[in-house]
Amino acid sequence: MATTEPDFNDRSKISPTTTTAFVIFHVLSVVALFYTTWQAVAVALALHWVCISWGIGMGYHRLHTHRAYTVPKAIDYLFAVCGSMTLQGGPIFWTATHRIHHQRSDKPGDPHTPRDGKWWSHMLWTIFGEEMHSNTEVMGKYAPDLMKDRFYRVLNSWHWVPLVVLGLVLLAVGGLPWLLWGVFLRVTVGLHCTWLVNSATHLWGRRRFQTTDDSRNNWWVALLTFGEGWHNNHHAYPRSARHGLVWRELDISWLQIRLLAALGIAKDLQIPTASQIANKALPLGEAA
């Protein structure tokens, strides 16, 4: 029976469902290398873009968690479905976990701080403790805004369904190579890219802003995650739709949000002004 509050630091038991999925996906990711075709690679790359940039960066993170901008419901829901196909849980679970991370960042109760261990922050936090991915009622306490929408509640409880449907479609259209590359290898790579934001960007990189946590800007994580690696910027301005705050900080998810805004689709973009950034930034000699 689930507890009334999530305990992300419980190392007394291992989640059998998460661990089984973890092993299966990693094993089949290796198998995928023996079924390589150019078409399968192209499908995997396209889906990585759609699921990590649209689903996680633009959707779960900047839209659903922080409400850094608004879009019509149809696109809002589309991004949520894309996010569910990363095997990182539904929108309510992901939003709740990330909001807890911001509330307790690098302090007791943070779900994935490197202060509890580098590998803990990267992936071990996902396989220990109770399985909360489909526990919409408990996680919904931290995302009451999403709980008001039946679509989010249903998707959170059945977050694995879109990925299963995608797998069946890929198998029917492109056979085993498309399934292995488009689901198993693509999801595994996407998980590690996202987990690097939890681990690497709290360990390595530069700090432009003095925040109360260990967040850092890491350019190579930003490249792998379409802009999520500018993590110190994000912790300084959590509601900002833009994470790369200067021209040299490539933020592909932000460029897509800006395109949606130019088309009149995205609105209410939250972005710090140049003066706000300058006032909050560390002196040049202190930034590290």
CB burial of residue 84 (10 Å; 0-12, 13-18, 19+): buried
Whether 246 is covered by a domain: the verdict is no
For 159, the enclosing helix (H) or strand (E) is: none
pLDDT score at 1: 39
Q: How far apart are CA 65 and CA 238, in angstroms?
A: 10
Q: pLDDT by residue (tens digit) across 123-155? A: 999 998 777 776 888 889 999 999 999 999 999
Residue 55, domain extent: 16-208
Q: How far apart are CA 221 and CA 120, in angstroms?
A: 18
Contact 78, 85 (CB under 8 A): no
pLDDT score at 4: 61
Q: How far apart are CA 234 and CA 99, in angstroms?
A: 13
pLDDT score at 41: 98
Q: How far apart are CA 13 and CA 93, in angstroms?
A: 20
Contact 194, 52 (CB under 8 A): yes
Q: Which residues of the chain have pLDDT under 50?
A: 1-3, 285-286
Whether 225 is covered by a domain: the verdict is no
Q: How far apart are CA 23 and CA 260, in angstroms?
A: 38
Contact 205, 217 (CB under 8 A): yes
Whether 147 is covered by a domain: the verdict is yes
Whether 237 is covered by a domain: the verdict is no
Contacts of 86 (CB under 8 A, 6+ apart): 51, 52, 55, 56, 187, 190, 191, 194
Whether 105 is covered by a domain: the verdict is yes
Whether 72 is covered by a domain: the verdict is yes
Nearest residue to 87 (alpha-carbon basis) of 9, 6, 162, 174: 162
pLDDT score at 130: 73
Q: How far apart are CA 54 and CA 34, in angstroms?
A: 29
Whether 278 is covered by a domain: the verdict is no
What 8-state DSSP symbol labels residue 269?
A: -
Q: How far apart are CA 216 and CA 206, in angstroms?
A: 5
Number of domains in the chain: 1
Long-range contacts of the stretch 164-167 (C-beta < 8 A, 24+): 166/47, 166/85
Whether 121 is covered by a domain: the verdict is yes
pLDDT score at 281: 81
Token pair in block for residue 275: 């003066």
Q: How far apart are CA 149 and CA 213, in angstroms?
A: 32
Token pair in block for residue 257: 């949000």
Q: How far apart are CA 161 and CA 279, in angstroms?
A: 46
